[in-house]
Every structure is written in C-alpha cells, then in structure tokens.
Amino acid sequence: MAAYQLDEFPDTLELVRASRRSRRWRFRSAALRGRPLAAATVTALLRDRPEVAHVEADARSGSVLVLTRHDRLPQTLRPLPAARARSPSLWSRLRTGGEEPPAAAWHALTVDDVFRALDATQAGLSQAEARRRLRRFGLNALEPDAVRSRLAVLAAQLANVPSAMLLTSSALSSLLGELLDAAAILSVVGVNTAIGYSVERANERLIASWRQAEAGVVEVMRDGQRRDLSIEELVPGDLLHLRAGDVVPADARVFAARGLACDEAPLTGESEPQPKAAAPVAQATPLADRTSMLYAGTTVAAGTGHAVVVATGLATELAGVRKLVEQSTAPATPLAKRLDRLSNRVARLSVVGAAASALAGLAHGRPLARVVRGAVALGVAALPEGLPVVSTAALVRSMARMRQRGMVVRRVSSAETLGGVTVICTDKTGTLTQNRMEVELVEYGAGPRSPSHIRARPRDLFGDRATLLLAAALLNSDVDVQRRGHDILSISGSSTEKALVHAAHAAGLDGHALRRDYPTLALDERKPGVHYVVSTHGTPGGGRVAFVKGAPEQVVELCDGDLGTVLAHNERLASDGLRVLAVAWRPLDDGAGAPRGHFRYLGLIALRDPLRPGAAAAVAAARRAGIRTLILTGDQRRTAEAIARQLGLDGEALDGSDVAALARSTDPRAPERLRRLAVVSRVTPADKLAVVEALRAAGEIVAMAGDGINDAPALKVADVGIAVGRNASDLARHVADVVLAGDDLRSILAAIAEGRIVQDNLRRAVRFLFATNFSELALVIGAALVGAAEPLTPLQLLWINLLTDTVPALALALEPGDRSVLDRPPAPPSAPILDDKAQKRVARDGALIAAASALASFAAGRAFGFGVLTGAQLAYTLDCRAGDTRATPRFDALVGGTVALQATALTLAPLRRLLALGSAGSLPLGGFALGFGLPWLVGRLGGGEVIVRQGRDCTLPLPTSEPRV
C-alpha cells in the first residue's frame, strides 16, 4: 500500500483504497486507531483545503475518508518513496522497534570505510541528523522482558484434564437441575485454581523485585563536542568514549584504543578480558575474537577507547542471543507429562465406565435423567478431584522450604522435576568459580611460597627480590585505582592485574607511592603472538627501568642466564590449573629505545580463579546421588580440565563444536561418548543449547545452572533451568525455572532432595487417591451392572473425594520425607507414577474396600455402607505411609481432624440431610468405626510398602581420593 505524508501531521497515512472515478480516497493509520484527538487533527488539516469536498476520520478503525472535488489528491498529501514509507513514527516505533541499520561485517572494514558506510565523521553526528536517525532506527532498547500476565497464570491453572472434566461434570449437573452438586464441583475447581495462582504470582513478584536497574548515561561526541546522552537515544553513527568500568551500550566499531580490553563473559563466556584495537580482522573471525568490535552488554575492563556505534536495540548481538531464547520452547515437565498420561487414562476409563453404566441402566429400563445422573456420579467418582490440590500443595511446600534456603521456584511443577534430574550442566565461570583471580603462589628462587608469607621492604625495593617481584607486577599492570584519601574504593582492570595489585598491597606495598616514584613512561601491550607486557618507568634518581610480565616461555627468552628450571616450575604450576606469569626487569640506559632482551629474571606468579565454597562438595554429593555433573565453559580446555580435576570429575573433555557434531552424528558410539562427557570447553551459547538438547534427546533429565546472558537459551530448554547468584543477568533469571539468590551450589542439591521427596510423597498420595477412587468406581459400576440402586449420590461422592480422600492425601503429600533421599540414584525418567506392581496393589486394595462397603450396604443399608466406606478409606491412609517415616504433628492433625469431621457429619442432623443419610440412627457412625479397623487387617496381610528406587547406575567412577577444594 502506498504511503502518504500529510503536512503538519507526524505520521504517515497508508492509502487503502483509491477511486479516481468516484473521487474517494480511503487512508488508514495505526497511529489514529483509538486516538480521537489525532483523528480530529487530521480532519481539521484537510477540511479547509479547497480540493477537499469532505473528510471523515474514524478513530475506531483508524481510517480517513477523503472525498475530493477532482480526481487527484490535494497537494497537502504527498506520496512517500518506498523506503521512507516503511518508516513509521517515533512513538509507534517505541512499541515495535526500529528499522535495522544496513548490515555489514563491521569488524572486517577499515575505520574509514566504517565511517563512510555510516555517513559519520569523527566530529560526531549533528543533533538534527541524530534526531532523524532516532526516528528511523528507534530507541536503543531491547523489549522489556514480558512478565506473565495474571490472566495467563490463572488460565494455566485451568488448562488440565481434571479441571476440564470437573467443569463438564458441573455443567451436566446444572443441566439436570442438581445445582448444589454443580456448585460443589465448581468450588473444588476454584480452590485448586486459587492455590496455584497465589503461589505462582508470589514467585513472579519476587523475581520482579530483583531486576537490575538499566544503565543510564553514556558520553558521546555530537556537533564536535562531548556530551552525556541517555543510552536509549544512541543511534548508529554516534561516537562513544568509553573507559574502564563502563558497560558498552551498543554494538560499536573501535577506531581508537589505549590499552582497551573488554570483559565479554556475559556474551561469549570468555573469562579473560579481550584486548581491543582499531585494526580490522578477517571477516570469518568468530565473535569472541573480533578485537575491532565492542558489543552491547559487555564491560570495559581496562584502558580507554573511542568507537562508532554500528547497531542499536534489537539489531545488537545481545538481542540476537535473546532471539535464540525466544525461539527455544520450554519443555513440559515430567510431572505434567505423567499426570497428563494418568489423567487421560483415567478419563478414558471413566468414559468407558460411564457408558457401560448408562447402557446397563437403560437395559434395566431406567429413565434417561437417572442414567445421566449416574454418569455424572461416575465422572466425579473416577476422577481424583483432590489430585491437583494435593500435587500443588506438595510442590508449594517444597517451594516454601527451598525459599527458606534462598531459592525461588518460578514454575510450580519444576519443584517436582528437580527430583528426577540426572545431569547437572553448569557454567564454570561465576558458577563453579568465583570469577576472581587470586595470587596463589609466588616463586622467586626459594621454592613456591604463598604471597601471604611475603613482607615487602619498600625502602629496599631493588635489594629484596620478593619486594621487587611484586612491585614490578604492580607497576606493569594497567589498572585504574579509585581512592578516597588513603582508602582504596575500587580497582578496575583485568581480573589478573587486579589480583596482582591486591597481592602487592597485601604484602605492604603502597601502589600510589610506587606509581608516583616510578611513573609509567611507556606501555608496550600484548599483541598477537606476543604474550607479555613491557613497561618503562622513571626512577627517583632520574634513570629508567623496564619491567616485563607475561607468558613464562616468552619472558624467559628475553632474560639473560640459564633459566631451564624456570620452565620446569612453570609446567608444574600450570598442570595444577594455575595461570602462571613470569616477571623480569632491567635498568635502561639514557637514550636507549624500547628494551629488547637482557632482562633479569625475577620470578613466577601463579594465580587461580578459586572455586566457589562448597562447589567440590556439591559435585561429590551429586555423584553419590547418582547425578552427573557436566561443566560448560568458554575457557580453554586445559583450564577447564584442571578445574574439573579439582572438583573430582573424571570423564572426557571436548570443545563445544565437537559436542555439537557428536550430537548430530549417527555413530553408534556417540551416545556412550556423550554419557562419558565431563567438560565442554570453548562453548558458545548455541553449543550450550545443542549440548542440553542432545542430553535430553538421550533421555536425561537436565538441570542447567548459569548466570550469564549466554546461558539463557540453554536455561530455557533444559528440564530445569537454574539462574545462579544475585548478579545473574535479567535474561537468565527470566527464563530460569529456579533462581538461586545465593551462590551456594549445595542449594541445588537441597532443591533436588526436595524434588525427590515430592516425588515419593506424590506417589504415595496418588496411590491412596486412586485406590479410594477405584473403590467408589467399583461400587457404582457394580451396582449398575447388577441393577441395584445407586450406592452413592454425586454429593456423597464429592464429599468423600474432597474430605476423606483429599485431606489424608494432603497429609501424605506433606510428609517430611526420607533423610537418605540423596544416597540413591534418581528414579528413571520414564518411570510411571504408579508402576505395574503399584497398580495391582491399588486395584486390590480398592476392590477390598468396595467389597466391604457393598457387603455392609447389603447387610444394613446404604447409610451403613457409606460409613464403612469412609472409615476404611481414612484408615487406608496409615497403610500408605512410608515405613520409615515418623509421625508428625501435621499428619496427626490432618488425619485426626478429618476423622473428627467425618464423625461429626455422620451424627449432625443438617449434614446427614445434606448427605442423604436420612434417619439411619447410629448406623453410619457404627459403620465408620468398623471400616476404620478394616485396612489395618488388609495391610497386615499385604505387608508394608517400600518405595524402591530402581535407578540407573552412575557410569562415572568414584574418585580414588577426596576431591581438592
């Protein structure tokens, strides 16, 4: 459709229909819909034109009808070129995002080509041009994470088979005029819905309260002057000035850098800051290695730099990662799948049973209304109405217990899924380690020593080797120290150099004084192939010295003397997973240029990114529980292998691309190799996703733990996504099923234990519910088949299902659980809620209870049979408890309270009338007492019930020694 611009009206109008013959022109604009004022403005602008005979604007449809006096439009309506026609107004772009800037391999272009392509200069954009580009490309903002609406949460509670069948039963009851029955059924649905809604909303509010504040302002160059600008107003072509500590606000091409390095861990997983420079790189360079680019969401770790913005908002790489998350769909949880299967099977059975009962009733000549009433009774009897409440309450209780441990479960059913986890995929940096380098050992000729044993002698800098070693490392580090007086507020720079500075300060060196006395004259940064930094400094005596710090094998080449043992020390330290730097120095002659060689070796400094407290213990405990731990990291394989060894993990290490290829492979050995995997290195967000999907395809129940933006796609696809730590990115927290407020990975195992307890308790509760429901079903169908009167009315069935079935089942579901729940492997992922043995037991027990009630009805009437039935079902609760569970006050209160309430219902006249027990005297109560003793006898005949886990053996061998921490 052609677009037109009306003078003095900011938005375009699209010509929907034009008829020159009838001189009618119909325009539509989304900007007018729902806006009467805008519609009136358009009318006013066109009405007085001499070419216009009539104009009509309707805010309801957003349309404008223009009738002209001639067969052309007035000049005030100008057609727009096609490109501009696709550019809606600023405030409509606020909702939908802007036009994407021209895509180009910016990292491969020279700086001049970049400026030319963006039509920008090093003086920055003019304000007018910036405004035009803002209208064209939209705000530099990602769509805010959509919080689930209350309506969606409410609807989710009703979208299940039991609720659908109950609503159907309620509708049928209404049609039959049984309004009390219909209301009672609806109240059950209402209670279930209210509980689930309340819990999920509370968790959503908690998550929302943790959202990090967005960064506000950035320094840009406009009209040749530096100014502060809101990040949202950045446009392609803007010039950024960034320094250490700044968060990069948009994708940008570097055109000037001084020691610039960026921490890109949230996007690429690389734990070390990446150096940046203006030189272009090859077009095929992977994202993590594009040294000429800065990406939105990353942080400047060191140095300063200037860059020109090339992409904003939804066109950034950050937005691309979020798109990957939106494309991945979250899987249905094991509980949902199994309960669905069970519910569907029960629904089918109840339909068959109702049909059989109806046919039998009709065959016996019963009226249709009575037959339909019987079918409704069967529907109510067959469905365990209490199951949604019981399962929700069990899950909610486990969520409450987890919340006490600092975990928030965002999806109720995830609490159960945790119990079936077989593999934990965890990010290394920030999840298993603290992402904080620390100097662990210093080696300067007397064997490796802890830095805490060093007491520096600042007055004898060149006379004490240890002092000079630490001072050289400090002076050679390019960090930004913020002070208030003598207090150091913060140190910004790479984590390695921050660690060196901390170690020097801890040993007693004053960095401020050292930098004053030995000012930096030149800094020769690392370059491709050159893994060391050379710094030149002035001395108090007017001379110069040079320090070098970097890869030992290269620094040793620059030093004089036989340093063969140095490399041996380096190998020993590196194989322990430490990052090793060699340090050397030399005096410089006056007038000498950049130093090349003839350095004097000082020593080695070994640093470690420490494991999080409890990480090794958590991994060991997971192994005991039959759960495999798999490390996913963007670091190099050697580093990751070393960390894995420290955690006590044995298994294969592969790069992410190799695992992705393995997952696609048709090699029959591929599944076995996947099972032996312990470390995946050099992993990208897409690789993490592929790993999780491959594991799930192999039948594993996968828990994915991470905190960065690059973890989000895998978090969403995993069976349980776990966002770790308070500094987890908004995106990770949004898609995760569980959010850990703290950093303790042992909490994951505690959550898994709760999940297993929930599974065990739910199995017992389901067994109880189905046995009791089966007894009612058998009674109703049996009576129909033999032509007897209905043994139970729908209201009686509802009373039983809600009170004598649901409350005891709730008591079973809320039991504290077995303490040794983590000392055995998880139940197989495909294990049904009720296996064959349990199903037979359910049928047997249900049949026995039904038989007892039938006999009682035959002997002394329906009221007596009702009493026997309810007493037997209540006592059956005790038989369903786990053999090794001690009695708890909650259990006693729930079951005891139900007994008391049932006894009251059987004696109080109003309730007896409601339950159609008539004037049967004390028969119902007597039957209740008799029935209460029955399951004790039956249970003793059948033996106690033990839930036996028949999980798979954990394939990884136990470590021969305790894992190091």
Interface residue list for other proteins (CB under 8 A): 17, 19, 21-24, 26, 33-34, 53-54, 58, 60-63, 65, 67-69, 149-151, 154, 197-198, 910
Nearest CB to other proteins, comparing residues 51 and 438: 51
Q: Which residue has the tokens 């009306």?
A: 6
Q: How far apart are the first and last CA of the chain?
A: 67
Which of residues 27 and 295 has its CB atom nearest to other proteins in the complex?
27
CB closer to other proteins, 67 vs 94: 67
Question: Residue 109 contacts by C-beta under 8 Å, 6 or more apart in sequence?
Answer: 117, 253, 280
Q: What is the DSSP string of 813-842?
A: HT----TTTTSSPPPPTT--SS-HHHHHHH
Q: What's the CA gap between 223 and 123, in Å, rounded?
A: 6
Which of 263, 427, 687, 737 is labelled catalytic?
Answer: 427
* Side chain identity, residue 157: Q
Cα separation, 48 vs 52, in Å, equals: 7
Least Å from the CB of residue 738 to other proteins? 25
Q: Is 369 exposed, middle or buried (0-12, 13-18, 19+ CB in 10 A)?
A: exposed
| Of residues 4 and 932, the one with the C-beta less far from other proteins | 4
DSSP label at residue 231: G
Q: Judge whether 423 and 729 are in contact, CB under 8 Å.
A: no
Give 151 or 284: the residue with its C-beta nearer to other proteins: 151
Tokens of 22: 């009838």
Q: How far apart are CA 923 and CA 906, in angstroms?
A: 9
CA distance 96 to 88: 10
The string over 225-240, giving b where at least 16 C-beta atoms fall within 10 Å of a residue's C-beta and e elsewhere, is: eeeebebbbbbbbbbb
Determine contact, residues 257/292, Cβ cutoff 8 Å: no
- Distance of closest approach, residue 319 Cβ to other proteins, in angstroms: 27
Nearer to other proteins, 70 or 638 (CB): 70
Q: Which is nearer to other proteins, 206 or 954 (CB)?
A: 206
Pairing of the two strands 407-409 and 299-311: unpaired
Q: Vertex 938, ends 933 and 940: CA angle to 5°?
A: 100
Q: Which of 447, 455, 582 is nearest to 509 (CA)?
A: 455
Establish whether 48 is a catalytic residue: no
Tell me whether residue 4 or residue 255 sits nearer to other proteins (CB atom). Answer: 4
Residue 24 CB, shortest distance to other proteins, in Å, is 6
Q: How far is the CB of 796 from other proteins (least distance, A)?
A: 18
Q: What long-range pairs does 32-39 form, CB within 8 A, spacing at least 24?
A: 32/57, 32/59, 32/62, 32/63, 32/64, 33/59, 33/60, 33/61, 33/62, 34/59, 34/60, 34/62, 35/59, 38/11, 39/64
Q: Which two tokens stand for residue 10?
A: 């900011």
CB 409 within 8 A of CB 723: no
User: Which tokens belong to 738?
Assistant: 């569980």
Nearer to other proteins, 16 or 653 (CB): 16
Tell me how far, at minimum, the Cβ of 664 lies from other proteins, in Å.
43
Residue closest to 947 by CA, chosen among 778, 758, 694? 758
Nearer to other proteins, 33 or 949 (CB): 33
Provide the minimum distance between the beta carbon of 70 and other proteins in the complex, in angstroms, as a whole number. 10
Q: How far is the CB of 32 from other proteins (least distance, A)?
A: 11
659 contacts 677 by C-beta, under 8 angstroms:
yes
Q: Which amino acid makes up residue 505?
A: H
Instruction: Provide, rounded to whole angstroms, the least separation between the CB of residue 86 and other proteins.
Output: 22
A 10 A CB-CB count for 827 gives 25
- CA angle centred on 609, ends 604 and 612, rounded to 5°: 145
Nearest-angstrom CA–CA distance, 299 and 312: 16
Q: How far apart are CA 207 and CA 212, in angstroms?
A: 11
Q: Which helix (H) or strand (E) holds 174?
A: helix 161-175
Chain position carrying tokens 């303490």: 819
* Least spacing, CB of residue 43 vs other proteins, in Å: 14
H or E, element range at 4? strand 3-6
Q: 2 or 956: whose CB is closer to other proteins?
A: 2
Min separation Cβ 914 and other proteins, Å:
9
CB closer to other proteins, 24 vs 243:
24
Quote the least distance from Cβ 305 to other proteins, whole Å.
46
Give burial (CB, 10 Å; 0-12/13-18/19+) of 487: exposed
Q: Are 634 and 458 in contact (CB under 8 A)?
A: no
Tell me how far, at minimum, the Cβ of 28 lies from other proteins, in Å.
8
Catalytic (active-site) positions: 427
